[in-house]
A and B are shown apart, each in its own frame.
Chain A
Amino acid sequence: MNPGSSGNAQKDKEYGLLGFIEGHPGNIPDTDVERISSYPHLVAREFLAFGLMLATLLVVSFLFDAPLEELANASKTPNPAKAPWYFLSLQEMLHYAPPFISGVFIPGLLVMVMCTIPYWRGRMSLMPIMFLLSAILLPLLDGIVWAGIHAVAPGFADATRSLGFPTFIMLIISAFGIGKLLLNPYFDDEARVEVLRKRLFLVFVGIVFVLVMIGQFFRGPEWRWVWPWQ
């Protein structure tokens, strides 16, 4: 058992250095922190929460039926064929970028970047992360910019697609960011890393949320935009 979790520091006793390392198994908890036994206080709450969850689930299950459509038919493609909702952000990106980019490359990189989140710290080069992020964002933004141009001037968009025109715009924009980083690749300040991490993560969560919502409620046949009330 973790000795630190049961005993409390006593005034007239000497403690080794390890006792003061937060998170170390030998850590001696502060005496001025009020502790209570987890049984029954925590355990009772857990059972209560579980019971409430189960009750809610039962009520929902009596009120709403899980969908079951017709028997699977390989020769009858529904339009649109939608992935499960938690993959709709990927399917929505599929609309803007080639399948490999939107369905494999971007999600794979994102999972990797997500794993690194706790390890970002002050005085580290953000180059690798910036590089990964621009690898993710560029093709996607490219697709979105192109879709935007296409909505306004389809002919122009089609004609310039092969020239990589939107990519060019994106490169110019990102050149500013990359240039700035080249001049000062180190974030030597923990607070700045903190701000960056928070912004990037929340923007990421926001984008996924918006894409899932669009995919679920605003996409119809041929993945065209439809309003939910149409």
Chain B
Amino acid sequence: MSEQPEERRLIRRLRNWVRSTAASKYLHSSDSGTKHSVFSGGFRSALKSDIVTSLPWRSVFARPYPQTPKDNSEIAITSFWIHLHPASIRKETLKFSVTYGLGGLACGLFMVLAATGIMEMFYYVPATDHAYKDMVDLQHVVSLGKILRNMHRWAAHAMVIIVALHMLRVFLQKAYKAPRQLNWVIGVILLCLTMMLSFTGYLLPWDQLAFWAITVGTNMAGSIPLIGPKVRYVLLGGPNVDQATLIRFFVLHVVVLPMVISLFMVFHFWRVRKDGFSGGK
């Protein structure tokens, strides 16, 4: 089969491009007769330099791979995720026993919950004649649906525990003292929001466990003197746990509370920066 001129030109250009890479040049050079192998360190570093100087790489990672402490500090200022951190920290705060990683883990669990929760929403319809069936389908029909649901459920339990432990570590290390009093109060609000998120999510599978746990829970609100029944009515959207309750809890669980807790978390992190981190002293 004869190649068309354009194709030939394309292939030639491709070949020239491959030959122009540092990796190829390295492979085709040799010192004292022995050929360079693809398993050598020299090949690896040549390939790395090809990758980090390529156009796609440079357009995503706008600056070169950091080599010096100064590069590291500059990254701390310009990269989004990393700029949440101070450019430099006291060395002793790196010790695991300063935080046990608990605040960070709470944040990480929240991110996992957001990701798995959004995926669950692709399958879940918050209707009393649908919700339970959707859960059963998620477990038995949807590929990996069971893992998705398990992850969301276990991460939710873990988040309540981790946030409580984080509070305990902050208390025991006296990190709530001036100037961090306000951040402790924000923390208490975060703890309440975490439990509210978990509680509203509990109703969504619409099984016996969900239905009666929410009935028991909202009956407590109903016992407030004078306004109790009204409060309960507003929570449930009616006299009993029913469709109106399901849609209320759904909206609270997937829109209102995640938004509110995100705002408070951002505020919390910002205050950690402004107050200065207490640990390691």
Contacts and interface: CB of A to CB of B under 8 A. Distances in A.
Contact of B208 (A46, A66, A72, A111): A72
A28 to B, nearest CB: 12
A115 interface: yes
Interface size on A, as a range, is 35 or more
Contacts of B241: 72, 74
Given A49-B101, A66-B154, A111-B188, A35 B72 contact: no
Nearest to B209: A69
Contacts of B181: 118-119
Interface in B15-35: none
A136 to B, nearest CB: 16
A65 interface: yes
A179 interface: no
Contacts of A70: 207-208
Interface of B: 66, 69, 72-73, 75-77, 79, 81-82, 85-92, 94, 101, 104-105, 108-109, 112, 128, 132, 135-136, 139, 146-147, 149-155, 157-158, 160, 168, 171, 176-181, 184-185, 188, 192, 195, 198-199, 202, 205-213, 215-217, 219-225, 228, 240-241, 273-276
21 contacts: A5-B276, A6-B87, A22-B179, A33-B91, A34-B92, A38-B86, A38-B88, A53-B112, A58-B147, A61-B147, A65-B150, A69-B207, A74-B240, A81-B213, A84-B199, A86-B195, A87-B217, A103-B220, A114-B188, A115-B185, A115-B188
Interface of A: 1-2, 4-6, 22-23, 25, 27, 29, 33-43, 45-46, 49-50, 53-54, 57-58, 60-62, 64-74, 76-78, 81-87, 90-91, 94, 98-100, 102-104, 111, 114-115, 117-119, 201, 205
